[in-house]
């Protein structure tokens, strides 16, 4: 077996493990935040996506190797954050005629996500 085959196998194993860890952590954070806020606004998903944006911004500011970036950014943060849940929750808010909350979810998520990613990037640049 060549070194590149072993490396590829290890990277794929890392993707599986870190992706699993990221998705379990997403579930835990979403539930912890959601249980403390009994409102229509999906604060759990917001917390997950904003913290994930900050982490991804931070990782983007580091000089990571291709494999490390894949494992940290795509596998872990990609599994941790959740665009699909954000969109589904926004769509459901619209169906429930909570249009202001749905629009607020879109605007607040994008603004805080952008700010968090920039903050993460700036923090990494300070290292």
Instruction: Please tell me whether 81 is known to bind a ligand.
Output: yes
Please state, as a whole number, how many other Cβ atoms lie within 10 Å of the Cβ of residue 124.
Answer: 16
Is 78 among the annotated ligand-binding positions?
A: yes
| Nearby residues of 120 by Cβ (< 8 Å), 6 or more positions away | 53, 54, 55, 56, 57, 58, 59, 60, 61
Could you tell me where the beta strands, DSSP code E, fall in 7-118?
Answer: none
Counting every residue written for the chain, the total comes to: 127
Binding site members: 78, 81
Binding site members for Na(+): 78, 81
């Amino acid at each position: 077996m060549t070194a590149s085959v072993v490396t590829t196998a290890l990277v794929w194993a890392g993707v599986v493990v870190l992706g699993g860890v990221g998705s379990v952590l997403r579930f835990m954070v979403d539930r912890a935040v959601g249980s403390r806020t009994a409102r229509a606004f999906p604060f759990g998903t917001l917390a997950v996506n904003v913290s994930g944006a900050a982490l991804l911004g931070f990782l983007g500011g580091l000089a990571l190797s291709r494999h490390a970036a894949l494992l940290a950014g795509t596998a872990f943060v990609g599994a941790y954050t959740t665009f699909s849940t954000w969109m589904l929750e926004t769509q459901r808010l619209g169906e429930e005629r909570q249009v202001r909350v749905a629009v607020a979810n879109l605007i607040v998520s994008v603004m805080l996500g952008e700010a968090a990613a920039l903050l993460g990037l700036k923090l990494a640049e300070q290292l």
